[in-house]
Amino acid sequence: MTKNKHVQIRNKHITRKRLISAVGSLLAREGFNGLGVNAVAREANVDKVLIYRYFGGLSGLISAYGKEGDFWPSALELAGGDLQTFARCSLSEKLSRLGHNFIKALKKRPVTCEIMIWEMTERNELTIELETIRENSMIEFYQMFLLTRDNEQDLQTVVTLIGAAISYLVLRSRNIDLYGGLDLSSDAGWQRLEKAIEVIIQGTIGND
Amino acid sequence: MTKNKHVQIRNKHITRKRLISAVGSLLAREGFNGLGVNAVAREANVDKVLIYRYFGGLSGLISAYGKEGDFWPSALELAGGDLQTFARCSLSEKLSRLGHNFIKALKKRPVTCEIMIWEMTERNELTIELETIRENSMIEFYQMFLLTRDNEQDLQTVVTLIGAAISYLVLRSRNIDLYGGLDLSSDAGWQRLEKAIEVIIQGTIGND
DNA sequence: TGACTTTGTCACCGAGCGGTGATATAAGCA
DNA sequence: TGCTTATATCACCGCTCGGTGACAAAGTCA
């Protein structure tokens, strides 16, 4: 173990970036439990006092991190990469793709998963900020593609419910394989789930 | 603040119970983050060394706690208090009641909610034990009331999905009011949700 | 060059943590 | 009564935590 703090370059900008990205890697590796001033400074290989100098403290650093991340899938990603093709699909096809893409998007964002769990245990700068981002993104998506007709509140709630279920199952699957007879560690299990989502969608809105 | 450790009665059984119940109240009040040897001992007003003597450590104490709790709703509770009436209902009526009762059961078990979140962040004696209890309970319930016909795998998955959604929304509602346009802090929001569940059930299995 | 600012290092604080060995004291029994 | 044992307390260890003030060294500019 070489102690290379002594050769630290002197560049505020780079140091800030190192700290911010340390938050990300630490969050991905250890979860929000391991997120402290000492740990972040260690991870960034930077003195912890700089966290106070540059960000006013850990919460400032965390919210700086929150502003730079690709935490939540964009409408584009949820639509599957091509908005126009998506817009031309039938409603049931749209919803089916939405479910599929949402599962994929969540699975490949371990930090987002970590934060979603965090949101359930406490409220702080980051979780509040992320909550706002997500809520806006969801509403925007609804308005863009799904709720063309009015008084379709039930449909919106069904979609929200499916989204909640997906969120829960993805979050659980990170530590626990089995849920209600569903094997969340296998592709087959997730296919069964997507199938069920399609059944729900078909049953709820028909072939529209 | 009186320091009443000195008048502590000398009764192993009672002391054990005090420690075990301290785990429960601490879990309910502070969540699993505040659950440490010192904190539990303080809460029980007992010296922490007794945790090691009587339970071999915190994990032993926690798993002793896990064996004594009413964490997971029984089949009876999920059925609504009367198994025979429930058994006579139509399938869709059963599922609808199941959803309603599951929401109620979860809402009134803050410690269970805490543990469910805990399960998503790490695996330890308690979470593994609780996971087993719940999984068995769910399977048992399926077999008892829902899966009379074979090859109804889709239906089981739909039910699991609804259960997952309920779990997620109840857990979130403890810290966050809004989700996908759904107001989780109001009865109206939950009624909207139950309505959506009914829509899903009707759409999936008809009036059977 | 010398003065001043910016950037990074270091040493230290009090507090809380998990964990343990020595000790006090109440209970039970001869 | 005295002896033993079960039960509970206390003092202390090493560690990490969040946080701060003093200082070193590089950069900047006159």
Domain locations in chain B? 4-68, 75-205
Distance A16 CA to C6 C1' (A): 14
**Does the pLDDT at position A119 exceed 60?**
yes
Residue-wise DSSP of A50-65: HHHHHHSSHHHHHHHH
**Does the pLDDT at position B2 exceed 60?**
no
The mean per-residue pLDDT over the stretch A11-18 comes to 95
Which residues, 6 or more positions from B2, have their beta carbon under 8 angstroms from its beta carbon?
none
Nearest CA in chain B to A181: B139
> Could you tell me the pLDDT band of residue B6, with boundaries at 50, 70 and 90?
low
Tell me whether B157 touches chain A (CB under 8 Å): yes
pLDDT of residue B147: 61
The mean per-residue pLDDT over the stretch B3-26 comes to 83
According to CATH, the superfamily of the domain at B4-68 is Homeodomain-like (1.10.10.60)
The tens digit of pLDDT for each residue in B29-41 reads 999 998 999 999 9
Give the Å distances, CA to CA, from B23 to A69, B32, B67, B125: 37, 10, 12, 14
Task: Give, as one character, the DSSP assignment of residue B145.
Answer: I
The mean per-residue pLDDT over the stretch B102-112 comes to 95
Q: At what angle do helices B125-141 and B58-68 cross, to 10 degrees?
A: 20
CA A11 – CA B146 distance, rounded (Å): 65
For chain A, the average pLDDT equals 88
A175–B119: do the CB atoms touch at under 8 Å?
yes
Give me the long-range contacts of A98-102 (CB less than 8 A, separation at least 24).
A98/A159, A99/A162, A99/A166, A99/A194, A99/A197, A99/A201, A100/A194, A101/A73, A101/A77, A102/A73, A102/A78, A102/A163, A102/A166
What would the CATH number be for the domain defined by A5-68?
Answer: 1.10.10.60
**Does the pLDDT at position B194 exceed 90?**
yes
Residue with tokens 């759904």: B182
**Does the pLDDT at position A153 exceed 70?**
yes
The tens digit of pLDDT for each residue in A49-81 reads 999 999 999 999 998 998 887 888 888 899 999
pLDDT of residue B179: 87
Closest nucleotide to A53 by C1' from CA: C7
**Does the pLDDT at position B136 exceed 60?**
yes
Nearest CA in chain B to A173: B120
pLDDT of residue B9: 77
With contacts defined as CB-CB under 8 Å, which chain B residues touch A204?
199-200, 203
pLDDT of residue A171: 97
CA A69 – CA A22 distance, rounded (Å): 13
Tell me whether A103 touches chain B (CB under 8 Å): no
Half-sphere CA count of A144, side-chain side, radius 13 A:
19
> Could you tell me the pLDDT band of residue B170, with boundaries at 50, 70 and 90?
very high
The mean per-residue pLDDT over the stretch A86-105 comes to 93
**Does the pLDDT at position A126 exceed 70?**
no
